[in-house]
Structure 1
Amino acid sequence: MRTYVINLDRASKRLAHMRRQFDRLGISFDRIAAVDGTSLTERDLLAFRTLAQNDDRPYHWTAPEIGMFLSHKLAWSMIASGEDQYAAIFEDDVHVSDEIAALLKDPAWIHNSADIVRFETTLQGMRLARNPDFQAGQMKVFRVYSGAWGAAGYVIKREIASWLASSPPRTFGPVDWFLFHPESTVAPALRVFQLDPAPCVQDQYHPDVHSRQNLGSNTVIPIGPVQTLKSGSRRLLSPMVRKATGRRGIPYA
């Protein structure tokens, strides 16, 4: 499976972080030079905000959010012009477990009904199908029936990448909102699945604080009902909260 890593030219520490992980797992990847939103001119930022403005859903885009969205859009365009039925996209601040190697080397585990399969967890609660739809090695894959935060690691179908890349600007929202939020103009049409446990987590959400590399974040992701401990680590939703909301947290593998 073709694998892409979105990386800013100035983020050499992050690129080295990704190379160490994927080299250890024997995974090759194509680097996508990310769009640096902070380097865009005020005219460019205003032009994007004007095109993307939706009067039914007012939103003020930050420069990093614009850069991140355009970077994912570039990745979708590259996948759309490729030959692989599915391809993987990662942002450059993730940790990946050893289990992800087999998934990236052979996409046969992906059911053809899947438009997007999320590798990532931010440990927030998600509403999933009661039973798994298919397996990915030792991991189960569930249909997602709620919103989800984060777009730092996922597999996407080529036809869907093409559709998203050509979506009109007024349908845009921050990239994870665009892909996964129920109020997005495109997300309700997507068949999204989640790996459980998740083989990918962003550095800032790694459950083991000692494993974090202090890579920082280019955008701020609002986390759902995850409880933060005094130590700075996060724990999954309590059984009471899971039962009340129908949601459960996805652990990092």
Structure 2
Amino acid sequence: MWPIFIINLDRAQDRMSATQALMDRCGLPFIRVAAHDWQTLTDADARRFVANPPPRFSKRALALSEVACFLSHIDVWAQIGGGKSPAAFVFEDDVEFDGSLYKLLSEISGREPDWDILKLYSNKVKTLGDAVTLPNGYSYGTPRIIPMSTAAYAITRPAARELARASVPFGRPVDLFMKHWWEHGSCVKLVQPSPVSRRADHLSSSEIEAGRGQSCHQSFLTRFVRNSLYQLQFRHRTHVNAAHRPPGRRWLETTGHARMVGDELDAI
């Protein structure tokens, strides 16, 4: 089986204990990666990594918690990209699942990836294009809209290497970055039904939400207008780039940087 990386804050020992117990019950070894802590991240630190100016029609400026979360995933991508395994799984420390996940992850690990990123979580049921059957009633394929969340996913080594290299500076939260597939060129697919879920206390204990609350100074009207403009722009770019969406993996192993398969995307 490919290695499993768990992202966890040093001060979130209760979440790590719960995750450790869950992984042990399911017979899943893992590698813990210390998350960047937004409470110790300064504005000066953030400016080193955040795009200036931000992307057009952004919902809002990035909160420090979102910057820290993105940096945590970049750290994992760098480890995977420099590792020996052809791919790996990445989990955040607030996921839930049962013992059947072992068989599913083993099955996925035994197949040649036809994707760059394979998401294992969606909070809504998604219709999949070109669905491929997996054991125990699961399947994976291409959703029309990639779901939010980076709670659990698999990523190939060359894709991890490329995303770690090319994602800085960033101007969106990491889950929105993945959702905008035309900006990073990766083939993102999804497993359905979701084999993992979020723990019931996710929202009440979310570091991202806490950080957003600390940094959100916009009026309701401003947030509404910016979100509406973002949604219109997102739908437009999804439609315009639909013909260029990669049907299979784009990043392959090379001696240098990851290599994109096929023509460059026409990112409007």
Q: Calculate the TM-score normalised by the size of structure 2.
A: 0.70
**2:207 paired residue number:** 218
- Mind listing any 5+ residue stretches in structure 1 that lack a counterpart? 205-211, 222-253
**1:117 paired residue number:** 118
**Rounded Cα–Cα distance in structure 1 between residues aligned with 2:164 and 2:197:** 25
Structure with the higher helix share, 1 or 2:
2
Q: Give the SS at the match of 2:49.
A: helix
Q: Give the SS at the match of 2:11.
A: coil
Instruction: Establish whether residue 202 from structure 1 lines up as the match of residue 198 from structure 2.
Output: yes
**Rounded Cα–Cα distance in structure 1 between residues aligned with 2:204 and 2:98:** 18
**Rounded Cα–Cα distance in structure 2 between residues aligned with 1:32 and 1:67:** 13
Equivalent residue letter for 2:183 = T
Cα 1:78–1:133 change in 2 (3 A) is: same
**1:73 paired residue number:** 74
**2:56 paired residue number:** 56
Instruction: Establish whether residue 161 from structure 1 lines up as the match of residue 150 from structure 2.
Output: no
1:165 deviation in Å?
0.2
- Percentage identity across aligned positions? 26
**1:176 paired residue number:** 175
**Rounded Cα–Cα distance in structure 1 between residues aligned with 2:171 and 2:203:** 30
**Rounded Cα–Cα distance in structure 1 between residues aligned with 2:203 and 2:54:** 35
Q: Calculate the TM-score normalised by the size of structure 1.
A: 0.74
**Rounded Cα–Cα distance in structure 2 between residues aligned with 1:53 and 1:159:** 29
Equivalent residue letter for 1:185 = E
Superposition pairs of residues 1-253 of structure 1, within 5 angstroms? 1-49=2-50, 51=51, 53-58=53-58, 59-105=60-106, 107-123=108-124, 126-129=126-129, 131-181=130-180, 185-186=183-184, 189-204=185-200, 216-220=205-209
- Mind listing any 5+ residue stretches in structure 2 that lack a counterpart? 211-268
**Rounded Cα–Cα distance in structure 2 between residues aligned with 1:137 and 1:52:** 46
Q: Give the SS at the match of 1:194.
A: strand
Equivalent residues of 2:49, 2:170 under 8 A apart: no
**Rounded Cα–Cα distance in structure 1 between residues aligned with 2:49 and 2:206:** 22
**Rounded Cα–Cα distance in structure 2 between residues aligned with 1:215 and 1:30:** 26
Q: Give the SS at the match of 2:17.
A: helix
Q: Give the SS at the match of 1:14.
A: helix
Q: Give the paired residue count.
A: 209
Equivalent residues of 1:79, 1:162 under 8 A apart: yes
**Rounded Cα–Cα distance in structure 2 between residues aligned with 1:170 and 1:114:** 24
CA deviations over 1:182-226 (Å, ceiling 9, x no partner): 5x611xx2222211111111224xxxxxxx5776212249xxxxx
CA deviations over 1:62-120 (Å, ceiling 9, x no partner): 01101100000000000001111110000001112222112334544544211111111
**Rounded Cα–Cα distance in structure 2 between residues aligned with 1:164 and 1:136:** 30
